[in-house]
Chain A
Amino acid sequence: MNSILSVSNLSKTYNNIYALNSLSFECNKGEIVSVVGSSGSGKSTLLKLIAGLEIPDNGKIVLKDKPINDESIFVKPEKRDCDIVFQDFSLFPNMTVDENIYFGKNAPNNKSMVGNLVSLANISDTLSRYPHQISGGQQQRVALVRALANNPSLLLMDEPLSHLDSALKEKVRSELLSILKKLDMTVLIVTHDAEDALTISDKTIVLNQGRLEQVDTPRNIYKYPKSEYVARLFGKTNILPLKLMPGSKHSFKQKSSDNKMVSVRPHQLIIESGTNSSLPKIKGQITNIFNNGHSYNVEAKCEDLVFMAEIKNGSDLKIGETVTFSIELD
């Protein structure tokens, strides 16, 4: 695979506090890479550094084999072969959709490609309108086409779906993915939403307080998190001691207790009809039951340990009952 973006030892501080601390990773051609982290983890700073909107304290950024940032080089944002799409889309309100799309320096030279993009994104009938006259989903697609029309080697997206309501979000997400994949675009997407990262990206980078916490495929990060922070960032989970399931190969050391722990998602806790299975088990007294329509979220307690299971057929369960849960490990 050929690398489009290579970031090595990148650091940036604000008021002596690290926003990014010695970050290194690579993006390959055609790859959609998501950068996930809680707020203040440094993900937006990373995007600004790559776009040239901020100057790093240390480190090197190479875009398409050309250094754009190191100790002696700083390429201006307008000279970098990457375009950015912000979460508020930042469509120029004084220009029509058409003018917005052709605003990019290279766009007027790529007329046939832009025409294809416009029909691919299904925004042909919005071209003469102003940004405030089109829907949120259309605005998102216009912002995407505007960036792509400039024919960049790398597309940077800052929380591209966070401005959309949940009904629209799913639709736009699948449209976005289909456009980007058809164009074989290399994309770096910053998001705080683990679901976006899981559904869109080929590779996920997890940041915590400016440091790289984990890089892997979204599936592996979800299933085998390397820290409690990563586990919790990617949805509801139970952090259970490794000794309960010695067969697990994916444990991590919990910072607060120094014990080896395993992330077990609620759906991995099941109630078996037979008692002879070889699966590891945990016995707990049910303290609460929530019906969420398609299943039951069962909260249980085993000594000091509180955990949550998602049980499909839980209508017979009762609060106060003691139940043995089996842990399904992959």
Chain B
Amino acid sequence: MVIFSISSFSSNWDHITETVLVTYSMNTVALVLGTIFFTLLFGVSSAWVVASYKFPGYKIFKWLLVLPLSIPTYIAAYAYFDILDVFNPFLIWVRSAIGFEAMQLTNNLLVYLLTALVMSSVLYPYVYLLARASFESQGSHFINVARSLGHSGRAVFWKIVLPLSRPAIVAGITLVAMETLSDYGAVKHFGVQTFTYGIFRTWLGMGDLTSALRLAVILMIFTLGILFIEKRIRAQSRFSYKSATSSFEKIKVGGKKSIFPLVVCSIPVVFGFMIPFFRMISWAWFSKNYIAEISVFQLASNTLLVAIIVSVSTVLLSILLGFSSKYFKSKIIYTSNRLASLGYSTPGAVIAMGALILVGYLSDTFNILLSGTLFLLFFAYIVRFLAVAYQPIESGFEKNCEDLNNASKTLGSSPMRSLYKLNLPLIKNTIIAAGLLVFVDATKELPLTLILRPFNFETLATATFDLSNQAQIIESSIPSLFIIFMTLIPIIYLNSRIGEER
């Protein structure tokens, strides 16, 4: 991609660098920072409250707080499509009291703020899940010792609990940053011109593949920059500790004292799930006659087909890669697997552009036509989501199978027999979980599908996007709801597994 984008000529590039490149960069940075801020606020506070307090309904909130994962950012944006209207009276007041420019500035600020808020209302579960697991794994001893040494509960949270959970929280916000960089639907809807927005605009609007690719390369540099910062922050945490053997003791609160935890947990659930979900339901009810017209069942079966094929093939590939890396203990296999799993940190639009160059090369050199085929779409999905399946499966092999494989080798088993008889049954649950994670991501995926889908092939995500793009947001609730329902069940299952393992 880098070579192609540098070596090819683009008539628009100078124009882009002069006019919108700085805007794209600043908007992208502002949106990522804003979203990180709000996800930290929602994710860490709810994780802390659920991990440390026993308040009425805390067990229900433990899984309610995960539900926004079923709502992709673009659906959240459509659910709040009219949120800016709420501020119209305020903007009118600013215009009359201060002036037109002040109103414009306020309006722009509000757009960033609300886009970041809407995106973080559905992205915070990444931080919530990792922070909660980290808090619970600390046990209560650190907190108890710190309190007996004279520090209040609040001081202990800031001085001990939070610094110890920093690596987990940083991992969570990195995922959120990646998702924000990758998003196209929400930023398009709110008109925030980020790099992903620019890639689509340049390629689909201006028909300039080279400039789009150059933007994709810059976006990739952004992504690598975030990964680098994450690595640096995590490296600064020079400590290590084993998960506590004692459980995390929750503080029982009732009466008036339970209001605070209830509010902290309710806000993200209400804004991240309840409002979008029930708005979708009510809109879908209004537009139920539309179900046949948009052939939603065809869309659902297309999405199911893509999600199932992608999750099965990603899992199979991960098993093959993970097993060969652990069984043969080869450094080359290990390193190539690490590189292959970089795909998840690459925005969907960038992967799509890369795939297009690859098929262009194959077409020119070997006369193989792959563009616009389902095969290409599946290939790009697998590149994008391999890490989602590979990481849990690899760690499953590492935790459960290393010594057993040595025993199996000395007992004369072939690698295939070890894999089939020993490893697969042992990590069966991990494989199912990995498959479901990919299934959820593939069902929600939008930008990559928008670019690579074959002609006349629509998924629920692309249909949702197209409908809302045509100002049919109410009707777009039908495919949206299908996406939510298709991803809800695996998410509830996965969340209950986290509880069981603990």
Contact B151 A105 (CB under 8 A): yes
Contact of A77 among B147, B163, B241 (CB under 8 A): B147
Query: Is A212 close to B, CB under 8 A?
Result: no
Q: CA of A105 to CA of B150 in the docked complex: distance in angstroms?
A: 5
- Given the known inter-chain contacts A93-B240, A94-B237, please indicate yes or no for A104 contacting B149, CB distance below 8 A: yes
B493 within 8 A of partner (CB): no
- Are B149 and A94 interface neighbours, CB within 8 A? no
- A150 beta carbon closer than 8 Å to chain B: yes
Cα of A249 to Cα of B142 in the assembled complex, Å: 48
Q: Mark B142-167, 1 if CB is under 8 A from A, else 0.
A: 10111111111000000110011010
- The one of A53, A76, A95, A147 in contact with B149, judged by C-beta atoms closer than 8 angstroms, is A147
List chain B residues, Cβ under 8 A from A80: 148
- Is the CB–CB distance between A84 and B144 below 8 Å? yes
| A247–chain B nearest beta-carbon distance, Å | 49
Which of A53, A95, A104 sits near B150, CB closer than 8 Å? A104
- Residues from chain B with Cβ under 8 Å of A90 in the complex: 141-142, 144-145
Of the candidates B142, B152, B240, B244, the one whose C-beta lies within 8 Å of that of A78 is B152
Given contacts A92-B160, A93-B241, A132-B240, contact A51 B149 (CB under 8 A): no
Complex CA–CA separation, A80 to B147 (angstroms): 9
- Known A-B contacts A132-B239, A132-B241; the reply to A92 vs B149 at CB < 8 A is no
Bound-state Cα–Cα, A147 to B141, Å: 14
| Chain A residues with CB under 8 A of B241 | 93, 131-132
Determine the chain A residues whose CB is within 8 A of the CB of B502 once the complex forms. none
Contact (Cβ within 8 A) A130 B238: yes
B239 engages A86 (CB within 8 Å): no
What per-residue 1/0 map shows which CB atoms of B224-261 lie under 8 Å from chain A?
Answer: 00000000000001111100110001000000000000
Using CB atoms, name the residue of chain B closest to A80: B148
The smallest beta-carbon distance between A158 and chain B, in angstroms, is 9
Is A86 touching B141 in the complex (CB atoms < 8 A)?
yes
Inter-subunit contact A53/B142 (CB<8 Å): no
Contacting residues, chain A, for B160 (C-beta < 8 A):
92, 94
- Given the complex, which residues of A lie within 8 Å of B238, measured CB to CB? 130
Known: A86-B141, A86-B144. A93 touches B149 (CB 8 A): no
Measured CA separation A132–B140 after assembly (Å): 19
Structural contact, A105 and B149, CB atoms closer than 8 A: yes
- Residue of A whose beta carbon sits closest to that of B245: A88
Do B150 and A51 have beta carbons less than 8 Å apart?
no
Contact at B142–A92, with CB atoms within 8 Å?
yes
Contact status B148-A78, CB under 8 Å: yes
**Which listed residue (A76, A82, A94) contacts B163, Cβ 8 A?**
A94
Would B164 and A94 count as touching, CB distance under 8 A?
yes
A95 to B146, CA, bound (A): 13
A245-281 residues at the B interface, CB under 8 angstroms: none
Chain A interface residue number, banded: 20 to 34
Q: Are A78 and B239 in contact (CB under 8 A)?
A: no
* A143 closest partner in B (C-beta): B145
CA distance A16 to B141 in the complex (A): 25
B257 CB to closest chain A CB, in angstroms?
Answer: 14
Contact of A150 among B140, B142, B149 (CB under 8 A): B149
Min distance, Cβ A265 to any Cβ of chain B, angstroms? 35
Q: Is A103 positioned at the interface, with any CB of B under 8 Å from its CB?
A: yes
Q: From A76, A84, A94, give the contact of B145 (CB < 8 A).
A: A84
Within the complex, the shortest CB–CB distance from B15 to chain A, in Å, comes to 50
Question: Bound complex: CA of A78 vs CA of B239, how far in Å?
Answer: 26
Residues of B within 8 A of A82 (CB): 148
Taking CB atoms, residues of chain A closer than 8 Å to B141 are: 86, 88, 90
A51 to B149, CA, bound (A): 10
CB nearest to A146 among chain B residues = B149
* Distance of A150 from chain B, by nearest CB (Å): 5
Residues of A within 8 A of B245 (CB): 88
Q: Which of the listed residues B146, B237, B239 has the most CB atoms from chain A within 10 Å of its own CB?
A: B239
Q: Is A220 part of the contact surface with B, judged by Cβ < 8 Å?
A: no
- Give Cα A65–Cα B152 distance, bound, in whole angstroms: 24
Given known A-B contacts A92-B160, A130-B239, A103 and B148 have beta carbons under 8 A apart:
no
A83 CB contacts on chain B under 8 angstroms: 148-149
Cβ of A106 within 8 Å of any chain B Cβ, yes or no, is: yes
**A-side contacts of B152, CB under 8 Å:** 76, 78
Contact assessment for B150 and A94 in the assembled complex, using a CB-CB cutoff below 8 Å: no
Residue of A nearest to B166 (CB): A94
Given contacts A93-B164, A94-B237, A132-B240, contact A78 B145 (CB under 8 A): no
Give residues 96-150 of B contacting A (CB, 8 Å). 140-142, 144-150
Provide the bound-state CA to CA distance between A78 and B160, in Å: 15
Q: A84 contacts B148, CB within 8 Å?
A: yes
Contact A78 B151 (CB under 8 A): yes
Q: Given A93-B240, A130-B239, are A78 and B147 also a contact pair (CB < 8 Å)? A: yes
Taking the closest CB of chain A, its distance from the CB of B351, in whole angstroms, is 37
Contacts of A146 on B, CB cut-off 8 Å? 149
Query: How far is A132 from B148 in the complex, measured between Cα atoms in Å?
Result: 22
Residues of chain A contacted by B166 (CB below 8 angstroms): 94
Chain B neighbourhood of A130, CB < 8 A: 238-239
* Chain A residues, Cβ within 8 Å of B151: 78, 103, 105
B237:A51 contact, CB within 8 angstroms: no
Q: Is the CB of B144 within 8 A of A88?
A: no
| Contact flags A22-60 to B (C-beta < 8 A → 1, else 0) | 000000000000000000000000001001110000000
Q: Per a CB cutoff under 8 Å, which of A51, A76, A93 touches B144? A: A51
CB-CB < 8 A to A77: which residues of B? 144, 147-148
Complex CA–CA separation, A93 to B249 (angstroms): 20
A106-133 with Cβ < 8 A to chain B: 106-107, 130-132
Question: Contact flags (1/0) for B164-186 with A, using CB distance below 8 Å?
Answer: 10100000000000000000000
Q: CB-CB < 8 A to A105: which residues of B? A: 149-151
Task: Assess the B163–A86 pair: CB atoms within 8 A.
Answer: no
Bound together, the chains give a CA A53 to CA B143 distance in angstroms of 10
Chain A residues contacting B147 (CB-CB under 8 Å) are 52-53, 76-78
* Chain A residues within 8 Å of B146, by CB: 92, 103
What is the CB-to-nearest-CB distance from B255 to chain A, in angstroms, rounded to a whole number? Answer: 16
C-alpha spacing A53/B251, complex, angstroms? 10
CB–CB A53/B163 < 8 A: no
What A residues does B148 contact at CB under 8 A? 51-53, 77-78, 80, 82-84, 147, 156
Q: What separation, in Å, do the CA atoms of A85 and B266 have in the docked complex?
A: 38
Q: Output the residue of A48, A51, A94, A130 with the most chain B CB within 10 A.
A: A94
What residue in chain A is nearest B252 (Cβ atoms)? A55
Cα–Cα distance between A85 and B146 once the two chains are bound (Å): 11
Which residues of chain A from 60 to 77 have any CB-CB distance to chain B below 8 Å in the complex?
76-77
Return chain B residues, CB-CB under 8 Å to A95: 239
Please, how many angstroms separate the alpha-carbon atoms of A79 and B160 in the complex? 18
In the complex, chain B residues whose CB is within 8 Å of the CB of A84: 144-145, 148
Name the residue on B nearest A106 (C-beta): B150
Q: Which residue of A lies closest to B237 (CB)?
A: A94
**Given the complex of chains A and B, what is the CA–CA distance between A77 and B238 in angstroms?**
30
Closest to B246 in A: A88
Q: Which residues from chain B contact A48 at a C-beta distance below 8 Å?
A: 144
Give chain B residues whose Cβ lies under 8 Å from the Cβ of A94: 160, 163-164, 166, 237, 239
The answer to whether B244 and A88 have CB atoms under 8 Å apart is yes
Alpha-carbon gap, A314 to B241, bound state (A): 51
Q: List 8 A-B contacts (CB under 8 A).
A: A52-B148, A77-B147, A77-B148, A83-B149, A86-B141, A105-B149, A131-B239, A132-B239
Known: A94-B160, A131-B239. 4 other contacts (CB 8 A): A52-B147, A93-B164, A106-B150, A132-B239
**Can you list the 3 inter-chain pairs with the closest CB atoms, starting with the nearest?**
A105-B150, A93-B239, A93-B241
